[in-house]
Structure 1
Amino acid sequence: MAVSESSSVQRARQVLADRLRELCKDAGLDGKDLAAACGWHPSKVSRISTAKTAPSVDDIRAWCRACGAEEQTADLIASLRAVEGMWVSWRRMERAGLRRAQEARLPLYERTSWFRAYSPGLVPGLMQTYGYTEDVLRAVQRRRVQIDDVANAVAARMERQRVVHEGQRRFAFLVEESVLGNGLGDVDTQAEQLDHLLSISALPNVSVGVVPTRLGRTRMPVEGFWIFDTTQVNVELVSGYLTITQPSEVAMYADTFTVLAEMAVYGAKARALISKALDTLT
C-alpha cells in the first residue's frame, strides 16, 4: 500500500497494527513465537505490529490463525481494505480506464448535502461543461492512462452533475482568478465554460467565489480539495487520490476553506471577474 503523508492514513494504519499486536498478546505469544508459527522472519512481525509495513490479506489470515483468533479474520481484512481505500494511486484507480473512476464517486455525491470545493487550477467538475471536461480528461488520459474511454468518462461526469439540481443540496465553490484564464482548450471551449459559470452562479443553492489575483494576500493557494458535509475530504494529488476522515484533519481543511472564502469575491464582483475573462477571450 502506498504511504501518504496524511495523518488520517497513518492513524488508521496504526489502529490496525495495534489490533494485530493485541491479538498476539492475548494469545500469550511474543514476536518470535508468532513469526515461527507463520514461517516468517521476526523482523516482519515487528514491522507489521509497528505499522511500518502494511500487512497483506494473507498476512492477516496467518496472524489470526497463529493466535487462535480466526473468527476475527474477516473484520481485520475489512479494516485493511478501509485503510487501503484512504490512499489510492492513480495507476490503481484508473487501471481499467477513467469511466469507472468517475462512476465510483457518484454514491458519495448522492449522499452528501453540503459540498465545499476549492480549486487553484481548474473549474470544479460539478460546474464543468462537456467540452471543458473532455479537454481535462483527455489531458489526464494522455498523461497516465493507457485505455482511451474518455467519451464514456465525460458522460459519467455529466451524469454526476445532476446532484446540483436534485434534493436540498448546498454548494460552495471557490476558484482562484487564474482558473478563469488557464488556457485550457480552445477559445470556444473556454468561452462556453465561462458562460456556464455565470449561469450556475445564479442558482439559489450555489455559491461561486473567486479569489482575486492581487498583492498582499494573507493566504497562498493550496492543493485543491473537496469537503463532503463535515465528515470527509478528498484531495487529488500528483500521485494519487487521498480520502481524509479524521475529524481534526477534516476541520483543518474546513478552516482553510473559511480563510480562502473570506478572501474571495461573490455576486456582482465575481461575475465581473468572470465577464472580464470572457471579454479577454472574445
Structure 2
Amino acid sequence: MTTGPLEPELQAEQRATLAELLRELRRAAGLSGERLAVRCAMSQAKISRIETGKTLPSVVDVEQIVQALGVPVDDAERLLSLARVANVGYTSWRSSARAGSWHHQREIKALQEASTVVRQFLPAIPSGILQTRDYARHALASSVKGAPDRDVEKMLDVRMGWKSSLTGSGRTFLFVLTEQAVTWRRAPLEVMVGQLEHLAETAALDAVDLAILPRTAQVFAAPLNIFVVYDERLVTVELFSGGVAMRDPRDIDYHLELFDFFRSKALRGEEAVEFLRSAADDFRREL
C-alpha cells in the first residue's frame, strides 16, 4: 500500500531518518559494514552510501538489511513503512513553475532517453511526446484560476524536442489512450484534425505501440490517473496539483498490471489507426 505523497523537505527528512536508523541498527548488532554487505549480498560501498544518505535504499534493500540484522518483526515493519514513504516523491506544479517549468520538461526527456521501455497510460490527454505544437500550445495554456504561471513557448520548444526519443534505437514506447483523451475538444477543429492525424502517423513508427481504449469497451476498472512506467524502475503519476514518483517494486508491479489490463481491452494496430482517422474525419466534417 502506497503512503501519501510528501513535499520535498519532509521527504528528505524521512530519507535521513531511514539512513540513521539503519546505521544504528548495524552498530547495535556489532557488525561492520563489510560483514553486513556479505550477509545482504550487497557491496560494502552500497551499504556505506545507504547509511550516509547518499543512496536511497529500495524497499527490497531494506528488507534484506533488516533480515540480515535479525530486526524484530514490529521494528522491521516500521522501517519498511519508512522506506516506502521515502520512495514516494511529490513535486507540486507550483514549485516546478517557480524553478521554470521547462526544466521539468527536460527531466522527462532525460528519463525517456535513459529507458528501454516506456509505458504511458493516458486517460485524459495525449502526452507531450504525442502532441503537435499547435495542440500542445492550447493544452498548456490553462484557463483555470489559480493555475501556476509558466512560459508556454519555452515549454513548447523543449516538448517538441521529445519527439526525437521516438526514433532512438533500442527504445520502445507503449501508449494506451482512452477515446476521451484523443477526442476531447481542447483546441479548434483544424488543430484537432491535425492532432488526430499526427497520432495515426506516430502509431506507424517502429518504436511505437499505440492503443485506443474506446467508450464501447467493457472495462471493470476506473482509469483514474495518467501514469508512466519507465522500464521496471520508476512510476510517475500526474495529479491536478503536481506529480508523484514511486520506486517501490510493489507499486511498479501494480502499475504494470494496470497497464496490461487496460491495454488488453484496447484497439491496437490497424484498428487503432482506423479509429484515429475516423475521429479526424468527424472533426473535419464540422469545419
TM-score (norm 1): 0.72
Instruction: State the match for 2:125 in structure 1.
Output: 122
SS class of match (1:265): coil
SS class of match (2:19): helix
Kindly report the root-mean-square deviation, in angstroms, between the aligned alpha carbons of the 2 structures.
3.4
1:19 offset after TM fit, Å? Answer: 3.5
Find the aligned partners of 2:244 and 2:166 in 1 and give their Cα distance.
Answer: 23
Matches within 5 A, 1:113-262: 113-139=116-142, 143-146=146-149, 148-214=150-216, 216-262=218-264
Find the aligned partners of 1:22 and 1:226 in 2 and give their Cα distance.
Answer: 31
Find the aligned partners of 2:26 and 2:257 in 1 and give their Cα distance.
Answer: 42
Gaps of 5+ in 1: 29-70
Instruction: Deviation per CA, 1:103-136: give whole Å up to 9, x if none.
Output: 2222211111101101011012211111111111
Of 98, 108, 111, 1:95 maps to: 98
1:254 offset after TM fit, Å? Answer: 0.1
Find the aligned partners of 2:89 and 2:156 in 1 and give their Cα distance.
Answer: 25
SS class of match (1:76): coil
Find the aligned partners of 1:135 and 1:237 in 2 and give their Cα distance.
Answer: 19
SS class of match (2:267): coil
Find the aligned partners of 2:210 and 2:223 in 1 and give their Cα distance.
Answer: 17
1:87 maps to amino acid = Y
Q: Is the 8 A contact 1:187 1:281 kept in 2?
A: yes
Find the aligned partners of 1:15 and 1:103 in 2 and give their Cα distance.
Answer: 25
2:282 maps to amino acid = T
1:215 offset after TM fit, Å? Answer: 6.1
Q: Is the 8 A contact 1:4 1:87 kept in 2?
A: no
Q: Is the 8 A contact 1:117 1:172 kept in 2?
A: yes
Instruction: State the match for 2:19 in structure 1.
Output: 19
Instruction: State the match for 2:52 in structure 1.
Output: 75
Q: Is the 8 A contact 2:87 2:248 kept in 1?
A: no
SS class of match (1:167): coil
TM-score (norm 2): 0.71
Instruction: Deviation per CA, 1:208-231: give whole Å up to 9, x if none.
Output: 100110263222212110011111
Q: Quick one: structure 1 residues 141 and 107, their matched pair in 2 at CA, closer, same or farther if it must change by over 3 Å?
A: farther
Instruction: State the match for 1:56 in structure 2.
Output: none
Calculate percent identity across the aligned residue pairs. Answer: 21
Q: Quick one: structure 1 residues 188 and 17, their matched pair in 2 at CA, closer, same or farther if it must change by over 3 Å?
A: same
Q: Is the 8 A contact 2:11 2:89 kept in 1?
A: no
SS class of match (1:101): helix
Find the aligned partners of 1:26 and 1:166 in 2 and give their Cα distance.
Answer: 45
Q: Is the 8 A contact 2:87 2:246 kept in 1?
A: no
Find the aligned partners of 1:212 and 1:169 in 2 and give their Cα distance.
Answer: 27
